[in-house]
Structure 1
Amino acid sequence: MAATDDLEERLRELRASLEALPSVSEPPKTTLRILGSTKSEQHWNTLLAYFLDPSQPHGFGPDLLKSFLDRVQIETDIDLEYFHRDIEAVSVDTELTSPRDNRLDIVLRAPNAWFVWIEAKVDASEGTKQTDRYVKDTHLGNEEKAEYPDDGQHYLFLSKEHAPDSSAGEFEDLYWRHVVEAFRDELNHAHGQYPERSVNQLRSSCRRSSG
């Protein structure tokens, strides 16, 4: 009888442990699915956009996005007051082209509240007056910047630490190591709450980004 009671107790503990595992609506994407056929700069843009996007099935929800935005405000002069409702509604888009034929790498948008235009560089440097053109452009893809208040329009130039900074004064400079630090801080406080595959993907990406 004692053995039966002990077995039942172990089964209850196992069931409770399984129910405590984090779940997502669909399995996290494999790295190959995230990247498709992209390489180099597009490779990093695709990975970064995937992990920042709360709607993607990585299991981090909005946590990496919040960690990223918090680090942006620490390392730059961007003053971005966001609320939880903003984060839940944020969209993350890549490779949008404006009517002026300016192509943005990544844009984070909280509808009618704020946007962050991210120009990301890995090995290449900024093109001639590239960031100046982006600031003067009136659109984010097909959407008018006028849909956002002036104090909600933000520009971020992401590059390696010893590369040249952006030429446009409106762009704030951030380095890839800052992104890595933000993501690692989040993982260090995770306590097993995120899917293992996503954690391993992110750790691997952080190692390559900081290398």
Structure 2
Amino acid sequence: MTDRAGVLVVAKAPVPGLAKTRLTPAATPEQAAEVAAASLLDTLDAVLSVPRVRRVVAMTGDLEKAAQATELRRVLRWFDVIPQRGNNFAERLVNAHRDVADLPVVQIGMDTPQVTPWLLGSAIAAAHTGDAALGLAEDGGWWALGLKDPLHAMALQHVPMSQPDTGSRTLDALHDLGLHVSPLPMLSDVDTIDDARRVAASVPGSRFAAAVAAISTAGQPIS
């Protein structure tokens, strides 16, 4: 049975001091890395539950120094792990889409641990039905991009990333290519401690919720 799409996770190794630094000082660097690792692991679990897809992780950073390195290596055995290539984040995204090969691609990051197999399946269906699918994030960015033709990721080349208007500018860039873009539900990325609290409350029992609960502020656990 052939794969119907590629699901591409763009990830950074959750190394203490380098991962989720905006969670400090509420979290220690080690706790922030644990939150990042939990977010990535929950995301990978969701991808593993989507049938008939090629599962790809475009990784950067030193996994050997990462929080939850053993568990990450165990789960990543079920994925094709490729290195990120490029001089900036937009270029790395474009190249990662190209590296998935001749399949429609749904690309997500590791900052939406609340993502579900159903949401990923909806993104795949939308990319098949139209030309593209885009899930905007509450901070003005986007959490998911689905493309029927992965070469259309070229639209990202000149879009500034991690800006309040990244989502709207990505949508404009896709429209400039003449693509029909289906909207996906809006989700919250995890950038700040308030984001982490809110997302953790939406996924009780998850690795992510447990990692956030382990952070203490003034000696009181966040829940």
TM above 0.5, yes or no, is: no
Determine which structure has more spread, i.e. the larger CA radius of gyration.
1
Instruction: Identify the structure with bigger relative contact order (alpha carbons < 8 Å, sequence gap 6+).
Output: 2
